[in-house]
Amino acid sequence: MRKKLIALGTLTVAASLVLAGCTSRDTGGTADTGGADAGGDGDVTVAFVPKLQGIPYFEAMNTGGQQAADDLGFEWLYQGPTTADAAAQADIVRSFIQQGVDVLIVAPNDPDSMAPLLQEAADAGIKVATSDTDAPNSVREVFVNQASVEGIGQGLTDALLEAMGGSGKYAIVSCGETAANLNAWIEVQEAYTAEEYPDAEIVDIVYAGEDQAAATAMATDLMNAHPDLTGLVGECTSSAPGVAQAVRDAGKIGEVFTVGLGTPQSMKDYLEDGSSSASILWNVEQLGYLTGWAGLQLAEGNGFQDTNDVSEELSAVEYFPDEKQLLLGPALRITTENVDEFDY
């Protein structure tokens, strides 16, 4: 089973894990730790299809993936839909299959509908993987996971309930209804709230897509529908600032508390004025770097080791063979004290 990786106890610990960005290195890791000794020859093409192109989160992943390509010597291709639409994403995946890329990595909006396309790519001789969001019932060869499901779900719950004083009613504004990662985190939040915070209750879960304005409107509606609501969770990088904006607009800072999975700079103003108490995230550029590195390993037929030396900053990335999963590391709690350590 996946190990529980929770590093949310102190900001000092979190800060030690924060990176200024991926840096170049002359060589990869050694064979016994799963690193790539010589890197690629420039002929390998690794294509990444995010849920949505143009938002800070996936643009930061793109930055990390391109840095890996520069460091290790492969071609990084990046294209996603302009709206979080499974059909539009599928069209881009089909295009990459027709191009005959060496590796295809997807963060699927709809894992079930993506699975047949990943099979089609595999049948065409393309190595397939997922990153950020999984398609567990597919032929993907590895899932590049950002943090443990338990670490994220429990981290969100702890951060919010600490702000709420350990009790009260809260609601969740999620994004895509079919997103496997978001739904897994919500399941943890539901169970963990019931077990650890018996005086707290989740009163509603709504879905705003990847639309910040829609998240703000839904959070406003939730506060109106539940006058005794004292907490909101933004379950993705568009709804996290969305719910904070709703609290700010309603003049309820200090009355209704919010946390979410927001990119640091998009949350900075909300953290500073108290409309958000914390953001639970990970180093997104590192996730992109690990994604690119994993793609190169698949292309070159390198197996993953239990612990993988990916780069100077990612020197001990764990691999879980039963789940075919690479785990970036523990989730981080981002507050006013460490938000400026990230530039995205």
- Which strands sit side by side in the sheet containing 257-260, from one edge to the other? 200-207, 168-174, 229-234, 257-260, 278-281, 332-334
Contact 138, 285 (CB under 8 A): no
d(CA 291, CA 309): 14
pLDDT at residue 42, as a whole number: 72
**CA Rg value for the chain:** 20
pLDDT at residue 311, as a whole number: 97
Of 235, 336, 223, 331, the C-alpha closest to 284 is 331
pLDDT at residue 41, as a whole number: 67
Query: What is the torsion angle, in degrees rounded to the nearest 10, for the CA atoms of residue 52, residue 266, residue 130 and residue 204?
Result: -90
Question: How high is the mean pLDDT in each 10-residue block of the chain (344 residues)?
Answer: 32 33 32 46 92 94 98 98 95 98 97 97 98 96 96 97 98 95 96 98 96 97 98 97 98 98 96 98 96 98 97 96 96 95 91
Q: Which CATH class for the 149-281 domain?
A: alpha beta
Q: How many CB atoms lie within 10 A of CB 321?
A: 11
Secondary structure letter of residue 185 according to DSSP: H
pLDDT at residue 34, as a whole number: 42
pLDDT at residue 2, as a whole number: 29
Output the pTM of the full model.
0.83
Where do you find CATH 3.40.50.2300 in the chain? Answer: 11-147+283-341, 149-281
Q: Could you tell me the fold of the domain covering 11-147+283-341?
A: Rossmann fold (3.40.50)
pLDDT at residue 39, as a whole number: 64
Using CA atoms, how far residue 194 sits from 79, 167, 200, 231, 292, in Å, is 40, 11, 7, 15, 38
**SS3 label, residue 300:** helix
